[in-house]
Chains A and B, each alone.
Chain A
Amino acid sequence: MVILPLKEAVTTVLVAAVLIYTLPMMISTYTLSILLIYAMLGLSLGLIWGFGGILCFGQAAFFGLGAYSYAIAAINIGESTLPMVIAMLVPALFAAVLGVFMFYGRLADVYLGVITLVVTLILFKFINSTAGPSYVIGKARLGGYNGIPGFQTLNVPGQPDNYIWGDPFYYVCAVALVIVFLFVTALLRSSFGRIAVGIRENEQRMSLMGYDVRARKTVLFAIGAGIAGLAGALFANWAEIVTPGLYSLGQSAEIIIWCIVGGLGTRVGPMLGAAGLAYLKFLLGQQSMIDNTLITGLILVLFVLFLPKGVVPAVADLWKLSVRRRPRRKRPNRRIRAERVDG
């Protein structure tokens, strides 16, 4: 097991604390909460796509499953702590089963995208058609296209009457995101994470090294789904209603765009992409001049054309360039030359 280096953990927490404190001065906590939830959703796909090489078109399915699991469990249990856990476990298990079918069936690339896309569509169609009174899980009616309203929202653990909403809910979302971020960081530092990146780079080589690629991809896929599920549960608490729209293709496509714009292969990129684009959408939603999706599409096209690696890697490259330039001037370019002789 690799535990995060203390210095990095402390830095992360400090930066996060400053952001959590200062952001509400600019944006309302109600809006910030949803941005944080989307950031977590972006991070979940950023983990499995950017580091595991699994392009999943159905991350919204896990998000929606998490939200629905939370809503159904909360109605039946009447307290929010256990439903939050269930909201992570259900999508993770669902992804594990789906992953076994896909990865043990040796599906890759485009086919994987198609399958995950279709699964999302099926869930959307299914939930949409559950309007009748016969579709009940325990005390919860699935409600079809009307969704499920009126479930128990987040409360202080053990005190069902003590609701967490408004500003405290924002802090809960923020802390949850920091914890997930630290978890993802530690995961990527561990052998499991390094092997996952190896699998992204070359599956064949990794299996020739003796790693069971299928099992490892399935586990990573399930972890990503669990994180998306947690984001979904938080979303359910934020919106106080869950609807089939959560499973929509538009939502799935948006998550992918967040990752591309923010920068694949980084942890911060998908989070920034998610929060940034979601905020832009929020601002654009306040006017009726230009269509929202048109702008999102335009941004995607511009990024793919001019900044294909995304914002965060581009900024990181710039930073490296400006930092490196100085020490190199003092010394003769010995290191560069040595590299060239060997290369």
Chain B
Amino acid sequence: MVETVLEAVGLTMRFGGVVASDNVNFKLKARELRCLIGPNGAGKSTFFKCVTGLLTPTSGQVFMRGDEVTGWSPHQVASLGVGIKMQVPSVLDGLSVQENIWLAARRFLSAPEARKKAAEVIERLALGPIARVDLGRLAHGERQRVELGTVVAADPWLILLDEPAAGLSGEDVELMAELVREMTRTSAVVIVEHDMQFIRSIANTVTVFHQGAVLMEDHVDKVMSDPTVRNVYLGKNA
């Protein structure tokens, strides 16, 4: 039996009268790739934030590898070996690519080992030519890639990505898809995404959110052809 790495039980998040996340039950197995889709305001990002510790859910529980992590701080969740990438690129602008990735690796490795690891990640992500350049001077696609680099440098067993393909050009999207596929060799991956083409190119199972709750969970092709999903997500005329 494959281990369950991430589980949410009855996860509910209320902001005043708004129920952003409504009794969500979610299970993810080791090395599984899962996309979360849904229209704006469907509760994907809220769910994502509850799991990563950026928000504390009103009720319900989150488990990671069997440990309850509900209400933990992001740094505690990350310390378990969970890699997190937020929607807006969050990188260290004043520092070089190398330093960004070194800092991520340093959390789990000694300083010399972290240096080796950083070199390895830089090569894997083809960041070599810009390794010494400050992040603030890089293009959007490169910054996204560096942020992914900081995520994989920690060798996580669970990776949570919020819209990794947002704002990327076609070429960069392909590169991103390839990176994600590579990640699934060693870790489970959860992706919140809008870009349907990107989802088709990487995903098997897709979880559809609608009005805070899980609408359905199935193979990507089935989900795409489902009339209810087409109604709520793609609009009636799609």
Contacts and interface: CB of A to CB of B under 8 A. Distances in A.
A338 B132 CA distance: 13
B130 A198 contact: no
Contact of B130 (A200, A210, A343): A343
A205 B150 contact: yes
A204 B52 CA distance: 12
Given A207-B73, A210-B79, A213-B75, A202 B90 contact: yes
Contacts of B85: 208
Interface in B5-19: none
Interface residues of B, number: 33
A195 B106 CA distance: 9
Contact of A201 (B92, B111, B150): B92
B206 interface: no
A209 interface: yes
Interface in A159-201: 191, 194-195, 197-198, 200-201
Chain A interface SS verdict (over half): helix
B67 to A, nearest CB: 15
A201 B93 CA distance: 6
A212 interface: yes
A342 interface: yes
A27 interface: no
Interface residues of A, number: 23
A191 B92 CA distance: 16
A2 interface: yes
Nearest to A265: B94
Contact of A211 (B107, B130, B139): B107
Contact of A339 (B84, B108, B130): B130
B133 interface: yes
A131 B84 CA distance: 57
Contact of A210 (B93, B107, B129, B147): B107
Contacts of A195: 103, 106
B12 to A, nearest CB: 24
B122 interface: no
Interface string B53-77: 0000000000000000000011100
B216 interface: no
B137 interface: yes
From B86, B106, B147, B154, residue with most partner A Cβ within 10 Å: B106
